[in-house]
Structures are given as structure tokens and as C-alpha cells.
Chain A
Amino acid sequence: MTLELFNNEFHLITGQLKSYLLRITASVPDAEDIVHDTYVKASSKLDGFRGESSLKTWIFTIASNIAKDNLRAQKRWVENVSDICREEAMSNPAFFGEAMHIRATSPHGAFEIREHISFCFTCISKSLPLEQQLCIFLKEVYEFKIGEIAVILNTTEAMVKYYLHTGRAKMIHIFDGRCSLISKEGICHQCSELNGIFNPKQKFQEELVKIEMARAAEIADKETLLDLRMKIVQEIDPFESGASELQLHHLEHNRNVMEKYV
């Protein structure tokens, strides 16, 4: 493969790669650094690419290896990350001051419930064991096949299936106990709270019915609700969406809180 062809291909998948790395690291600088390091490593080893997998799989393999090295040195987050970070935010007036400024001035500063659902998924996925988190994103959001994920994570298809199954089961359990959008017992109302702060003129229930997952909450099974949640995640580009700046600001806050907490 020529460097020119590689550059073209790399450019085409950079957006997906960067969003994948953001979702697993919860850090914009880390995601950007790993994209850069992946490019440097991959472009210097083009002779080693034999086409046994797609170039995209090969690039995601290199990126995942770099990310895993970083992430293994960090502790995993906790299931109630939203509660802990909410308390920190409430006691930090600067946080809401900055957020309101972004909301008022940035073209990417909207608050949208779907975006917050996606953001929340990123945060809670960081409480899963690393392999489960990576498998879920690679399969359910970035649509890699199980065989490709086995290559990316240097494991077997059987283990990818195990990580996917157990990761999904944990996410279902967590959201079933926490998310008031899908469960009457859900203890987290952050979507409605934040919508009230950032969109005070909006009627939350009217916004909610626009979201398929919320409409299906009472009739769909838990697996389907998780699939609908992950469909929302898949449809959102965390760097380019209309709410990206507000959500990235929120993510940075949560990361800072979790780094001190865990």
C-alpha cells in the first residue's frame, strides 16, 4: 500500500476513530493524541500491513492497543458516576457558569436529550471492565464483526462473545436501576434536570416522546431498550453534533471528578 492511499483511507476513518477513542478514554486530549500516535505508528509500518484484515480493522487494532496501554494504568469509573459528578457540579458554580456561556454562545452548545443519553452511556460504560467496554463500542456502535473485534483486541471470538454478553448484561442492569427514561424505579433524572436548566421553555415530556427508546420504555424488553440506547449513541458524532461542545465540557468535568474519586 502506498502512503498516499493510506493517507486517504486514514482520513476517511479519522472521525470514527476519534469518536471511538473519546468514548473509551472520556478525554479529548487523549483521543487526539492516540489518533496522532496511531497515524505515526501505522504509516511507519505500512510494510507490515498484509491485507489479512481491512485497513480499518488494522488501524483500530493499533489505536486500541495504544489506548489499552493507557487505560490499564487507570482505574475504572463507578456505576453511580452521574450521582457523584452531579454533586460536584452542584457545589461548583463555575461549572454551570461555563456551561451556560457555551449554551449561549457556541453553535455546538445546544442541550439535547439524545446527546445527553449518549454522553451518559460513555460515562457509565467506563465502569465496565475494559474488555467489555471495548467490545460493546466496537460491535454495537462501530459495527465491527465479532471476528474483526477478536483481531482488534487480540483475543478469540469466544471471548469477544463473552465480553459482549456480560457487558450488555451489566449495562442493562445499571440502566434499569438508574435511568428514569426507561424505568419507573430509575433514580437518575439528570436528563430532565439539565433540560430544565438549559432549555427552560421546553416541555420535557414533549421532547421525550421524540425519542424511540423513551416511547418504547413500557412495551419493549430490556435488551431492545439497550439496543435503542446504543442506536442513539451510534447516530451521534460527539465532536460534530449540535450539542458537542456542551457535552464535551460536561465530559471533561466528569473525567476530572472521577480521576480524583476512583
Chain B
Amino acid sequence: MQNGKARTEKKTFSRETSVSIDIQSDPAIIWKLLTTAQEYPRWNPTVISIEGVIAKGNKIKLKSALDPKRVFKLQVKEMEDGKKLVWGDGMGTRIYTLKGNGRGITNLAMSEKIGGLMFPLFASQIPSFDGSFEQFALALKKEAESIQSLSK
């Protein structure tokens, strides 16, 4: 249990950052937030924009606050409704998983593994994801809990 604190595991040919956070919200709300591309910039300070439709097999273009000049062209590799979303490119893979505890709390786990044979050559130029992951998880928690708390 990380409770919003990111951690990174470094290896010679790869690096993996992960974060996990408990959110008091229906998983459907979190899933909708994670899969609605045009809404990201409104609630998520780590994302400048996402173009495209987040659906299995689709390609999306993501601009991250970590590297605003670069456009990441990603493919949505896996979508299991309300449970798991995977996107990535040749360099890395981002995985989101949701698990409800049946008592109104949903755990979000997010991880990204980047690497490859050439990874050691440019590893030092890639910024740390830790801060961005923590911001992402907290922003998602805040937004989803705000929606969940709407009065009847």
C-alpha cells in the first residue's frame, strides 16, 4: 500500500515507477475520468492535452507537463471495462488498474515501465516520474471524490 507515494525501481535496462492510492468513489466515476481524453487537462495538472479517443487499439497523442514540447504517440493496448487500462509506445507501457473493496473505496494502481536495450544510453536524460505520478494520483482522487460527494 503506497497511499499516494510514488516509488521507482531502477534496473540496468529499465525503470519502473508506480503509485497506488485509495479513492472514496464508485469505480465507474474513476474509469470515466481515466478514459475521457478531452477532460484530462481540466482535472489533471500533469497532462496538457490528450488528442484522440481512448479505446482499445486507438492511437492517442499525449502532451505531458513533464515535457511539454514533446508529443507522445501512444497506442491503447488494453481496456478491461472499469478495471484495467494500458497504453504505451515502443519505449514504455503505462498500466492503470482499479480494484473496489465493496465498501465504497476503490484502489487505483498506476505504473509505467520504460526501457529497452538502448535505455542505459539515455536513462540519465529522462526526468523522474515520481512527482508527476503523485500529482496524478492526488488529482484523480480529488476529482473523483468531489463527483462522488454530489448531493442526491
A-to-B contact residues, CB < 8 Å: 145-147, 156, 158-159, 161-162, 164-166, 169, 173
Q: Contact: A162 with B152, CB < 8 Å? A: no
Partner of A158, one of B26, B42, B146, B152: B26
In the complex, what residues of A have CB within 8 A of residue B26's CB?
156, 158
Whether A158 pairs with B39 at a CB distance below 8 angstroms is no
Chain B residue, CB-CB nearest to A156: B28
Q: Which residues of B contact A162 (CB under 8 A)?
A: 28-29, 32-33, 147
Q: Which residues of B contact A164 (CB under 8 A)?
A: 150
A/B interface sample: 21 pairs, CB < 8 A: A146-B150, A146-B152, A147-B152, A156-B28, A158-B26, A158-B29, A159-B28, A159-B32, A161-B147, A161-B148, A161-B150, A162-B28, A162-B29, A162-B32, A162-B33, A162-B147, A165-B146, A165-B147, A165-B150, A166-B39, A173-B42
- Chain A: interface secondary structure? helix
Select from chain A the residue with minimum beta-carbon distance to B38: A129
Interface residues of B (CB under 8 A from A): 26, 28-29, 32-33, 39, 42, 146-148, 150, 152
Residue pair B42, A169 in contact (C-beta under 8 Å): yes
Report how far A253 CA is from B119 CA in the complex, Å: 60
Measured CB to CB, the closest approach of chain B to A123, in angstroms, equals: 21
Tell me which residues across on chain B come within 8 A of A156, comparing CB atoms. Answer: 26, 28
- CB-CB under 8 A from B146, the residues of chain A are 165
- Considering only CB atoms, which chain B residue lies closest to A145 in the complex? B152
> With the chains together, A83 CA to B26 CA distance in Å?
39
